[in-house]
Amino acid sequence: MLDINNIGVSFGGVHALSNVTFAMPQTGISALIGPNGAGKTTLFNVITGFVTPKEGSVKFDGKEITGFKSEQVFMGGISRTFQNLNIIPELTLRENMYLGFIGKERPSAFATMTRLNRKYWKETSQRIEECMNFVNVTEYADMTPGSVPYGVLKNFELGRAVMSKPRLLLLDEPAAGLNLAEKENLADMVRKIQSMGVCILMVEHDMQFISSLADFVVCLNFGQVIAAGTYAEVRENKEVLRAYLGDEDA
């Protein structure tokens, strides 16, 4: 699904990523782990076109996407969420859902303003309701984000990302700030999305959350891949233990 080959990124004298290489399975849920500052979000930014690597390549379904603009990456079938919620405070959740599809479907402004494409908007409204229902946020649809619980907003963001029907969904710390019940709810949601045939790659710190979901785990430390495999394999890896717990001598 996603082939990362020899990616290198530097910010001035800091090597954020060097020689990062791994291949993500065609299906299932994969996770990118590592201590703070390991380069996980930078790698997400490389995949989604926010950062251009100084070396290496990214292939999605065998097609080179290195150096693509974010818009092109999205149009190619890769959607992402951010660590910080990007939900507009003055719009309701239903209105915020528009971001999920207008960039891809590009409805005609003239036809919309003159109300000539009523059929399209009727169908789209139906799809929005289905999507809201899918991520269990229907009861909050007419509320603005300020009056909605954080866990619901996290679900909402997931639903909005799915609205564009991506083939690969990148989730940046989806479980951050959630309580146990919300995490379980989110995990169910992620499984449901995966069962729709969407491949998922997530950055996450919560190992319990990852262990319950991920089929394939890649661990980064100081911008380099130190382990890749199943969760059990990675968990036992000495390099990974050292990265998280430090040297025994220390």
Partner 1 sequence: MKRLNFTFIIIMACVLAYIGTQVSNEYYIGVATLLLIHAVNATALNILLGYTGIISIGQAAFFGLGAYVAAVLSTNYGVNPLLTMPIAAAAAFAVAYLVGSPILKLHGNYLAMATLGMGMILYIFMNEMDFITGGPSGFVGIGDIIIGKFDLADEKSFFVFMSIFFMVFLFICELFDKSFLHNKLKFIKNSESACRSYGITPAKTKVMVFASMAALTAFNGAIFTFYTHFISPVSFSFKYSVELLAMATIGGLGYITGGVVGAVLLGLVPELFSAFEEYEMIIYGGLLAVVIMFLPGGISGTLKRLVKRNA
| Binding site residues, partner 1, CB under 8 A | 48-50, 69-71, 73-75, 79-80, 82, 86, 88, 90-91, 95-96, 98-100, 102-104, 107, 109, 112-115, 118, 121-122, 125, 164
User: What is the C-alpha separation between 161 and 199, in angstroms, rounded?
Assistant: 13
Query: What's the CA gap between 151 and 84, in Å, rounded?
Result: 13
Pick between residue 104 and residue 205 the one whose CB is nearest to partner 1: 104
CB of 179 to partner 1, least distance (A): 25
The letter for the amino acid at 50 is F
Specify the residue, 15 or 104, whose C-beta has the smaller distance to partner 1.
104
Q: Are 193 and 169 in contact (CB under 8 A)?
A: yes
Q: Are strands 78-80 and 168-172 parallel, antiparallel or unpaired?
A: parallel
CB of 12 to partner 1, least distance (A): 21
* Cα gap 32→119, rounded to integer Å: 42
Q: At what angle do helices 180-195 and 150-163 cross, to 10 degrees?
A: 10
CB-wise, 107 or 177, nearer to partner 1? 107
Query: What six digits make up the tokens of 119?
Result: 């059929």
Give min distance, CB of 191 to partner 1, in A: 23
User: Smallest distance from the beta carbon of 46 to partner 1, in angstroms?
Assistant: 13
State in angstroms the smallest separation of the CB of 90 from partner 1: 7
* Nearest-angstrom CA–CA distance, 25 and 102: 30
- Residue 238 CA to residue 235 CA, distance in Å, equals 8
What residue spans of 117-237 are helical by DSSP H? 118-134, 150-163, 180-195, 207-213, 231-236
Question: Which lies closer to partner 1 via its Cβ, residue 104 or residue 167?
Answer: 104
Q: Identify which of residues 75 and 232 has a Cβ nearer to partner 1 in the complex.
A: 75
> Closest approach of Cβ 121 to partner 1, in Å?
4
> Closer CB to partner 1, residue 98 or residue 222?
98
